[in-house]
Amino acid sequence: MGSLAEFRINISKLSEGIHEYRFEAEPSKIGLDERFCGTIKIAAKIDKSVRQIFLQAEIQAEGSFFCDRCLDNFHQKMNTEYSMVFVQGARSTMDLKREDEIQVLSADKNYIDLDDDVRQYLLLTVPQKLLCKEECQGFCPTCGVNKNIASCTCGAKEADPRWDTLKKLSHN
């Protein structure tokens, strides 16, 4: 990563009130791996007051994953949003609401970089279980055919393992 951030907001001469920004960048520019594809788009809104800068950011991204069941590549929208309060200098943060995410900026800092936060929030949106679709059939354990694309004859004999468990239970 270069030293110049992709998503940078200059706050040195920012007047009080609402300011809106739009950014776009390639995922690799903010240190995201190849699971992220396409262009990352950010709509950021800043509300500057004397005491603090309140930031809201909406992020649009797209993920390219491999399904856990059928190993197919699939794309998925990775939209998320976050908000952050920035306070400058050694100003007290006591009067801020506890639930707000707070970052303290040094008094001479004249910009806010969103890159790190955007990367963190996007990584949090990657699902634990990667499925091309909720009802993905995956591979047949017997003949290896992708059951989303083709059906096989072994299916008639083999039962859903969940039913096996139920059967065992009912025999007891």
CA distance 107 to 122: 29
- For 146-157, the DSSP string reads BTTT---SGGGT
Q: Should residue 130 be labelled a site residue for Zn ion when binding is judged by CB under 5 A?
A: no
Stretch of 34-42, 66-74, 99-107, 160-168 contacting Zn ion, by CB under 5 A:
66-74
Stretch of 20-28, 69-77, 78-86, 107-115 contacting Zn ion, by CB under 5 A:
69-77
Q: How far is CA 32 from CA 11, 55, 101, in A?
A: 26, 22, 22
Q: Which of 1, 18, 124, 143 binds Zn ion (CB under 5 A)?
A: 143
Q: Should residue 132 be labelled a site residue for Zn ion when binding is judged by CB under 5 A?
A: yes
CA distance 82 to 58: 7
Q: Should residue 65 be labelled a site residue for Zn ion when binding is judged by CB under 5 A?
A: no
Binding site for Zn ion (CB under 5 A): 67, 69-70, 132, 136, 140, 142-143, 152, 154
